[in-house]
Amino acid sequence: MLRPRADEIVNSILYSFEEFVVPELEEPYAVSVGHTIRNLLRHVALRIELEPPALYTGNEEMRAVLRDIAAYASSSEAASLAAVPADIAAALAAAEPHTPYPSLSTLSTHAIVLRGVLDRTIRALQAARPELGSDPAYLELRSRIRTCLARQLEREAEWTTPAFSGIRR
């Protein structure tokens, strides 16, 4: 069945809520809760459309950055980076896509695994800063990580900001 799609269902719920429920709300707290429900329904509708490709793209970017971090850590003598290659390898194996069209829940699970190892790796790189801080490859890697995280935040802002731009409680 192609219709109704999930986004159409959410938009139908939002329409019905705005047309039939919101006009009946009188008590200030009920009106406030109504605003929250409207914003959350808009948020869900945007996430249905925008989150899967954003997660897919973000996960691919993180995999590439993590592979480069693992290669750098493997060639480094910094003690704080010794466990990084194995940690990254385990995370990449756990977050390996097994289908060309992963579900949203799979993409989310993979993102959590990849972000977790990226967080641990950032901490290890920060600990190595006294030893490696002037190394151009180290500085480039840190820059790539910041760029990757900035792109993720930009993608997430696409579904967060518009959904919560209306009246809020």
Give the mean pLDDT of 63-75.
Answer: 98
One-letter-per-residue 3-state SS of 47-113: HHHHHHHHHHHHHHHHHHHHHHHHHHHHHCCCHHHCCHHHHHHHHHHHCCCCCCCCCHHHHHHHHHH
pLDDT digits (tens, 9 = 90+) for 96-135: 998 889 999 999 999 999 999 999 999 999 999 999 999 9
pLDDT digits (tens, 9 = 90+) for 148-159: 999 999 999 888
pLDDT digits (tens, 9 = 90+) for 31-57: 999 999 999 999 999 999 999 999 999
- Give this prediction's pTM: 0.86
The reply to whether omega before 23 is within 30° of 0 (cis) is no
